[in-house]
Amino acid sequence: ISPTGYELYIMLIPSNGTIMPCDAVLLSGTCIVNESMLTGESVPVTKINLPNPSEYPKATGDEIYSPEAHKRHTLFCGTNVIQTRFYTGELVKALVVRTGFNTAKGQLVRSILYPKPTDFKLYRDAYWFLLSLVVVAGIGFIYTIVNSILNEVPAHTIIIESLDIITITVPPALPAAMTAGIVYAQRRLKKIGIFCISPQRINICGQLNLVCFDKTGTLTEDGLDLWGIQRVENARFLLPEERACSESLLKSEFIACMATCHSLTKIGGVLSGDPLDLKMFEAIGWILEEATEEETALHNRIMPTVVRPSKQLFPESKQATNQEMVGTLKTTYEIGIVRQFPFSSVLQRMCVIARILGEKRMDAYMKGAPEVIASLCKQETVPVDFESVLEEYTKQGFRVIALAHRKLESKLTWHKVQTINRDAIESNMDFMGLIIMQNKLKQETPAVLEDLHKANIRSVMVTGDNMLTAISVARDCGMILPQDKVIIAEALPPKDGQAARINWHYADTLARCTSSSPAINSEDIPVKLVHESLEDLQMTKYHFAMNGKSFAVILEHFQDLVPKLVLHGTVFARMAPDQKTQLVEALQNVDYYVGMCGDGANDCGALKRAHGGISLSELEASVASPFTSRTPSISCVPKLIREGRAALITSFCVFKFMALYSIIQYISVTLSVNVIQI
């Protein structure tokens, strides 16, 4: 029981892992967690314990714990704890902070269980038409009764003939007849590998005029590929190099940074972690070794992770002396990772402190967004043409990461390093160069998006990935044409008495350097979008892009701008699962029929809320999605829309046939009854 009287629950995390039943903050030890349930990225994430304010007052300051702000220390409900690490015999403990629908998973489940009802104009108009037929039938019913009484017809005949008028006018077979097109469409969809659990949605898919796509695993392949590296020497860029594991670079600081600046770990003897880190580490061909429980217990602390080159990287020498030297090098050249400052999406960088075996002084290695890394380096080490080189790569759709290095002072001991603030380390660095990564599009993606564009069906990207990466992928796949302009809306919440505001920047200028990019006057944007001549509008279109934080601020403080932004918004990056659902609802509020195509559990809410949700995975997403494709590519989207339109046309024709048939029969029966009575 806490000093305030509240009951506190502490759970023990098993060493072999578990599925988290609640949200909890880690108090001791470290955990490796798969958070694909929430993020859609099947990447093991390392969680570290919350710093103890009594032990590290400088590290914590006056901060108040928040699950969103302290994600690095929080185990979320529904995520899979793969393994834990701590001293031998010690328990890994976590404090329960949220349960039930209050957890991140609970909010996702609630959005699936209780979605807002989907309104479809065809069914709404059909109800109104049936109501009008009921009114017509009522008139005929009253007319027949009155006329029969005046002609002194027996009572039982009046009842039969009057009720016959109602059953003729309102056709009882109409619902069954309207499902005929849906049934045949469902059979055809099954043959092409698209399964449906909500057949009524097939008709709605025939009216889709906007489709939201997830990026990773949907538009692009799951992984990243290393395209090459471009090192810097004497503040000048060298020529790009395709291979990073060459003999000449073996002991360079550039390779040492690639070998140490990551969050990789071994799970069951297999290297796991962020795909980007994994590709970077595999490219250099080094080996990662983690301390065993016995070693940790022996030294009474968690031993550092050690990286070293593999034997294949050392050149085979013919001379015996050289062989002895190589053998010595193999056994001595190792780097220990002493402390890790994890990647922060706010800071856009990560940093590690490492020490080469035998060296007295430690080294700091940093990697992250190029413009951020360059700002933390000595200006004399950054090449003059840095911005132009970076812009060239980003325009081609590459994902660029910058590396930096700094030799630390000899007075920094192991104990001091464990308590030092990262700001003291991440400054006065030497700029080392760039790593260029390539996120390949799926082969079918450009052709499918072109087909949708020709059919006047708008495409929108909704992803949890980086903003600039998402924009470059949108340009590569044809979602944003080369001549189109992209405007980034950066919304800032109220702070220090200042009202919330929105900063507008062109994406091209933001890619170079955010601090000096010229802002766009917000008054000019509607003018450019609305009052341009038709010729100019056809030549140059404008697309809005924003991240999840900006989207949340706009929804809360700028409600009047939401319709304008979603009408012209094409890229929505760093979106949380509930924000994806909110975006789908915002698009539906401006009269779009929205389709959603995704493959992760983080897409479940949006897949359920959209008029037509298509899952490319047979795991969690297929539970909430009305449609599931066996083929994991977006080629299923036009096929579904095609079948939806066929079913919709069939429903229209059947509806008109049944309605006309009923009205003709109603008139003929009414007249025949009167003639017989006369």
Distance of alpha carbon 271 from alpha carbon 287, whole angstroms: 10
Secondary structure element (H or E) that encloses residue 342, with its range: strand 335-344
Strand residues in 357-467 grouped as ranges (E): 363-368, 399-407, 430-438, 458-462
With tokens 């006047």, the residue in question is 456
Q: CB of 373 within 8 A of CB of 404? A: yes
115 half-sphere exposure, CB direction, 13 A CA radius: 21
From residue 554, give the alpha-carbon distance in Å to each of 160, 340, 443, 546, 565.
63, 35, 35, 10, 9
214 has catalytic annotation? yes
CA 55, chain centre distance (Å): 37
Q: Quick check: 614 and 597 in contact, CB under 8 A?
A: yes
Burial class (CB in 10 A: 0-12, 13-18, 19+), 105: buried
Distance CA 595, CA 629 (A): 14
Render the burial of 14-46: b for 16+ CB within 10 Å, e for the rest: eeebbebebbbbbbbbbbbbbbbbbbbbbbbbb
Determine the distance from the C-alpha atom of residue 508 to the mean position of all C-alpha atoms in its chain, rounded to a whole number.
23
Q: Which tokens hold the place of 171?
A: 């056709």
Helices and strands (H and E) in the chain: how many: 26, 29
Query: Among 465, 493, 507, 484, which residue's Cα sits nearest to residue 602?
Result: 465
CA distance 637 to 660: 35
- 542-547 and 569-573: which strand pairing? parallel
Q: How far apart are CA 75 and CA 30, in angstroms?
A: 11
Within 420-466, where are the H helices?
A: 422-425, 445-454
Residue from 62, 125, 164, 214 carrying the catalytic annotation: 214
What contacts 24+ positions apart, CB below 8 Å, involve 229-234? 229/254, 229/433, 229/434, 229/435, 229/436, 230/389, 230/433, 230/434, 230/436, 231/432, 231/433, 232/381, 232/383, 232/431, 232/432, 232/433
Rounded distance between C-alpha atoms, residue 439 and residue 227, angstroms: 10
Give the Cβ contact number of residue 292 at 10 Å.
11
Phi, psi of 242 (to 5 degrees): -80, -40
**Of residues 430, 111, 417, the one with CA closest to residue 254:** 430
Report, as residue numbers or ranges, the catalytic residues. 214
